[in-house]
Amino acid sequence: MTPLAPALALIAVVGILPSACAGRPRQAPAETPPAARIEAEQMRSARRLAALERQHARWPEDRQMVLEGAKSAWAFIDRSYQHETGFVKPLDAYPYATLWDVGSMLGALYSAHGLGLLPDAEYERRADRILTTLGQLPLTRHGVFNKAYDTRTGTMARVGHGASDDAGWSALDLGRLLVWLKIVGTTPALAQKAAAVVSRNDFSVALHDGYLRGEGRDAQGREERYQEGELGYEQYAARGFALWGYRAEKALRLRENALPIAVMGQPLVADYRRWDRLTNEPFLLWGLELGWDPPTELLARRMLRAQQARYEKTGVITITGEDAMSEPPHYFYYYCIFASGMDFAVDVQDRKAVVDGPRWTSAKSTFGFHALMPTAYTSAAMRALAPARARDEWASGVYEGSGTSTGNASVNTAAVILEASLVDLNGGPLLREGRD
C-alpha cells in the first residue's frame, strides 16, 4: 500500500458514515494532512486529464497510422518465426533469445491476435508451440530458466563467463516472462500449459530479502548472485513474480529507493543506490500490460512532460528509449531521461565507458506514450517516425537531428508496437486485474 492509501481509505470511510451510522453521535473526522490532500488532488487531476486526452486528443488519421504500424511490426514477427520451437529470432542475424525476448514473443502473438492480424486457431497453435517449448527447455542447475536459448533448437546459449552453457538467470527477464504467461493464460485453451511452465521452475531462487536476485558467472566461471533491478524495471518485473504468488515486497514499492530529482522542471525520481537509468520502457510496459497505480501514472506523465520540454527548448523531438543498435563498439544503448547524474544521458552496459550518443526518437516508447496518454506532442512524434517503418519491419526509431532510420528491427520493438496498438484500440491495459 502506498503512503497515500491510508489517507484515501480514511476519506472513503468518512464519506459513508452519514448513512451507515444514522442517529449515532459522530466524532469529527481527522483532518487529512495537507501534503496528502495536495497529492490526492494531483492524482485526480491527472486522471481527469488522461480521460479528456483519450476522448479529444485524437486525429482521424492517427488510428490508421497505428494500425498500419502494427501490420509492419507483425510482418517482422511472422517472417522471423521458427517453426521448430515457436520462438522468434530477436534480430535478423541473431538467433539467441533471452527470457525477456520470449515474453515479447508471447506479447506479439497475443496482441496481433487481438488486432485481428492472426486468426484464433493460428494464434492458439503458435502460442501453444511456444508454451510446449518452454515446458521442455533445459533449466539451470538451480531449477530455473537459463539466461538465453537458441531460438532454432531450444538449447541453452552460452552467455558471459563460464565453461558451460548454464549461465544463471536474470530475474528481470523472468519477471517479464511471468507477466506474459499470466496474460496468455487468460485464454482458456492455453491456461493449463501456461501454469505448467511456471510450476516447473523454482522461481523462489530469484527472490531474496524482499528484492529480486539474479545469478551470473564471474571471470573464473564461478556462480555469483546479486540484487537485480533498479527503479522502474525492478517494480515491473516484481509485479510479474507477484502475479504468480512470488512477492518481493521491497522491489514492488516504487518509493522504497526513490531519490527526488528534477528534469526540465518536472519532479521525477532516481534510484539512490546509483547506477540507475530512468528510462521510459519499464513504465510503459507496466502501463500497457498491467495498468498503472495513480502515483506511477503521475510519474509517467511527468516523464513525458520532461521530454516534451526538451523539444520545446531545442526543437528536437525527444522520446527516449533503449535498443540494440548498429553503432560500434557497444551495440546496445540506453538513451535515458536521467542517468549518472545527468539529464538525457546515453549509457551502456560497460560501467567504465563514457559515451555521448547515439540519440534517437524511440519507436516503441512513442507508440507506448501515444496509446496511454495521447497528446498533440505524441501525435507529432508518431509522424516523425515515418522513416523507421518499412513494409515488413520497424527500426528502433529515427536519429535525432537527421531524422533518418536507425535500422535494427527487433522482436522487442515489434512487440511493444503491437501491444501499444492493441491498447490504443481497446482503451485499457491488457491485464486489468494485474493492478497491484
- CATH number of the domain that 403 lies in? 1.50.10.140
Question: Does some domain include residue 182?
Answer: yes
Which helix (H) or strand (E) is 19 found in, with range?
helix 5-20
Containing structural domain, residue 396: 60-434
Along the 436 residues of the chain, how does pLDDT read in single tens digits?
333 333 333 233 223 223 333 333 444 445 667 766 776 676 566 556 655 655 555 667 788 899 999 999 999 999 999 999 999 999 999 999 999 999 999 999 999 999 999 999 999 999 999 999 999 999 999 999 999 999 999 999 988 766 568 899 999 999 999 999 999 999 999 999 999 999 999 999 999 999 999 999 988 889 999 999 999 999 999 999 999 999 999 999 999 999 999 999 999 999 999 878 999 999 999 999 999 999 999 999 999 999 999 999 999 999 999 998 888 899 999 999 999 899 999 999 888 888 999 999 999 999 999 999 999 999 999 999 999 999 999 999 999 999 999 999 999 999 999 999 999 999 899 997 434 4
Pure H helices in 227-375: 233-242, 249-252, 281-285, 294-314, 363-372
pLDDT score, position 48: 63
Cβ atoms of 175 and 289 closer than 8 Å: no
Task: Write down the pLDDT at residue 175.
Answer: 98
- Look at residue 20 and tell me if it is in a domain: no
Quote the pLDDT of residue 58. Answer: 62
Residue 341 in domain:
yes
- Report if residue 1 sits inside a domain: no
Q: How far is CA 341 from the centre of its chain?
A: 23
For residue 398, being part of any structural domain is answered with yes
Residue 161 domain-assigned? yes
Inside any domain, residue 8? no
Identify how many contiguous H helices and E strands the chain contains and give both numbers.
14, 17
In a domain, 48, yes or no: no
Residue 399: CB partners within 8 Å, gap ≥ 6?
358, 359, 360, 405, 406
Count of domains for the chain:
1
